[in-house]
Structure 1
Amino acid sequence: MNEIKVLIVDDSAFMRKLIGDFLACDSRFHVVGTARNGEEGLKKALELSPDIVTLDIEMPKMNGLDMLKQLMRVKPLPVVMLSSTTIEGAENTLTAMQYGAVDFVAKPSGAISLDLHKVKDELISKLLLASKANISSSSHQHAQNSSVYNLPMGTKVNKMICIGTSTGGPRALQEVLSTVSKDINAPIFIVQHMPPNFTKSLAARLNQLSDIEVKEAKDNEIVRSGCAYIAPGGFHMTVVEKKGQLSICLDTSSPVKGHRPSVDRLFQSISKISGYQALAIVLTGMGADGTEGVIELKKNKDVLVLAESEETAVIYGMPKSAVSTKLVDYIEPLRNVGSFISRYAQK
């Protein structure tokens, strides 16, 4: 395997050295250069042709967001952001995802994290993953005519939609939810692998960009049609039926295969609710979260499963795993998913 060439862009000499030391201990990486600001980072990205870039946000001369925007225009590369866990940091991180960053690592404590070693393993795994990402996946074409317009559905039934995603998910969710019709007659439940604080900012951003309401879910909340509920980071989200109404349960039980929230936990809870048709959607992400949930859902005959196609998935891990069960009914590019939901849940 060839070494993965990394460019480190950070205004802190301490942080540049610390990240460089982490990567120097792993034979899979080779640090080809460092830069102190976005201006220098952009220049070195063009000169050194790294395979991947680690990028800080707050920097002098040119900040990380401005560099990222320009980089994606002139030389698209996989980028992993280093982010603070403040509200502003979360919002900047989501902007970076929108601009094309593959993933992010939250710094444990402020701009200069003396304890960055706490996330060393996470940083290395995300760099490895991002180096294989499909960064040309973002698709801004209009929905194509496809099997989505031939859904074998009755009309007057209760319906719900559940979506699971991980790496590449914020941008995918933006593309999907911003094209969902405002008058859908079903609730949407979403698990996006993200740490606490970031999911609230994600929900607020998606709510601004969508015709439907998008919010971070609350424990014991009564569910409404036409609203999308995002599981808060650090909590499993399940759905239960009480006295003919759906409500949301949040809990902090053990992570499932390393994830909390878990797509499997959401899907499995929905598989136990009778009297509803369900549409389960698996979007971009690493690993297999959602696959066991798909198997459970398919024991209920009123379930359709859609997986994002390899063509548009930033990371074709979770969708591929779901497809491998041979239980997926539709494989669609991201550009079709919003119209699929609208057609499925029309009044």
Structure 2
Amino acid sequence: MTIIKALVVDDSAFMRKMITDILESHSRITVVGTARNGQDALEKIEKLNPDVVTLDIEMPIMDGITTLRKIMQEKPRPVIMLSSLTKEGADKTLESMEMGAVDFITKPSGSISLNIREKEAEIKTKVLQAMKIKVEKLAQKEPAKPVALFHPTPMPRRNNSEKSILAIGTSTGGPRALQQVITQIPKDLPVPIVVVQHMPPGFTKSLANRLDQLSQVHVREVTDGEYLQNGTVYIAKGGYHFKVVNRGKGLQANVVQEDNRNGHQPSVDVLFESLSAIQQCKVYAVVMTGMGADGAEGLVELKSKKKNTVIVSEAKETCVVYGMPKAAEKTKLVDFVVKLPDIAETLVNQLKARGE
């Protein structure tokens, strides 16, 4: 049994003690050291060579973002960020994910969370999962170039009454994967895009805002009851399921709080299954990097009710975590297995080929 060596970095002595106790209560994890700020952390990494680092975002002397940048440049390894639930905390968390952090954990009640024990299972699970992640796949890359725009007069559809929609599901490693795909989507894409990214409440809005700044298409956190517009990306709201319904005027968002599915809310299966129930709706479904199997059951439902559904999964070679795409491919229903840099172009070409 491999023992995972962890370094705990936090400016609060209380938080260092609590997180250390939580991690060391697992038989496969040992805390080899703690650090009170980023500068201290870099010295401890050099000396102790931990497998995984838990890193607080807000610290004196050297904050978590600066520390993460230096770790990924000099001593790359899995880093899990600890973040507050504020908007600033969410924005900085998204920035850290872009820079190569493998995941994040929210502090329940601010920088010194006396109730951090509420997160015990999540903290241990994410440290264990971090060891399965290919850190080299989180290295920063040059921004992707947008796919060529559609012609102003695309081929007519074979069925003019049929609506079309592009649906994407992703989890661990997803924010960076979404950035690579969505920033390549042309602004005149003639279909709406709906996205489930596993994230807690408060973080999906920051993700949408960040992607909107970087992309040609509009990106927003979805609102219950709004009609879905072509050339717009709708990100599921953390803590809510995102379903799509047909209300006559067009496709409409149905944002609801229900039981978790596969441990998640929002769930990819819930989104895909809602699309399978809409008559006269062509679906292009994409499953990208993530732990677990969320989305696989939804793909089965889609293909059983809509034989013309086009399914794309991210290739193992580019996945940060190959769980969700692997489960999708096991259904034997995937039409295209595509490396991350080529997903947007594959989707655009499929839309063009089918006269969208």
State the TM-score, normalizing by the size of structure 2: 0.92
**1:93-146 CA deviation, whole Å, 9 max, x = no partner?**
0001001001001000000001000011011111111111112114747989xx
Q: Tell me what 2:218 maps to.
A: 213
Amino acid at match of 1:65: I
> What secondary structure is seen at the aligned counterpart in 1 of 2:237?
coil
**1:2: Cα distance to partner?**
1.2
- In 2: Cα distance, 1:46 partner to 1:169 partner: 29
Q: Tell me what 2:151 maps to.
A: none
**1:14-73 CA deviation, whole Å, 9 max, x = no partner?**
111111111121110011111111111112112211110000011111100001011101
Give the root-mean-square deviation of aligned CA atoms.
1.7
Q: Tell me what 2:149 maps to.
A: none
1:248 maps onto 2:248 in alignment: no
1:312 maps onto 2:318 in alignment: yes
- In 2: Cα distance, 1:276 partner to 1:15 partner: 50
Q: Tell me what 1:293 maps to.
A: 298
After the TM superposition, list the runs of 4 or more consecutive aligned residues in structure 1 that deviate by more than 6 angstroms. Answer: 141-144
**1:248: Cα distance to partner?**
0.5
Amino acid at match of 2:335: D
**1:344: Cα distance to partner?**
3.0
- In 2: Cα distance, 1:117 partner to 1:237 partner: 30
| Partners of 1:239 and 1:266 within 8 A in 2 | yes
- In 1: Cα distance, 2:237 partner to 2:130 partner: 24
Amino acid at match of 1:181: P
1:338 maps onto 2:344 in alignment: yes
| Partners of 2:144 and 2:184 within 8 A in 1 | no
Q: Tell me what 2:92 maps to.
A: 92
1:115-126 alignment runs, 5 A limit: 115-126=115-126
**1:339: Cα distance to partner?**
1.8
- In 2: Cα distance, 1:284 partner to 1:29 partner: 25
> What secondary structure is seen at the aligned counterpart in 2 of 1:62?
coil
Mark the runs of 5 or more structure 1 residues left unpaired by the alignment: 145-152
1:85-164 alignment runs, 5 A limit: 85-138=85-138, 140=141, 156=157, 158-164=163-169
Q: Tell me what 1:69 maps to.
A: 69
Change (3 A) 1:142 1:333: farther
What percent identity do the matched residue pairs reach? 49
| Partners of 1:38 and 1:67 within 8 A in 2 | yes
State the TM-score, normalizing by the size of structure 1: 0.94
Amino acid at match of 2:50: P
| Partners of 1:10 and 1:37 within 8 A in 2 | yes
Amino acid at match of 2:26: D
1:31-50 alignment runs, 5 A limit: 31-50=31-50
Amino acid at match of 1:223: L
- In 2: Cα distance, 1:29 partner to 1:87 partner: 32
Q: Tell me what 1:147 maps to.
A: none
Number of residue pairs aligned between Structure 1 and Structure 2: 339
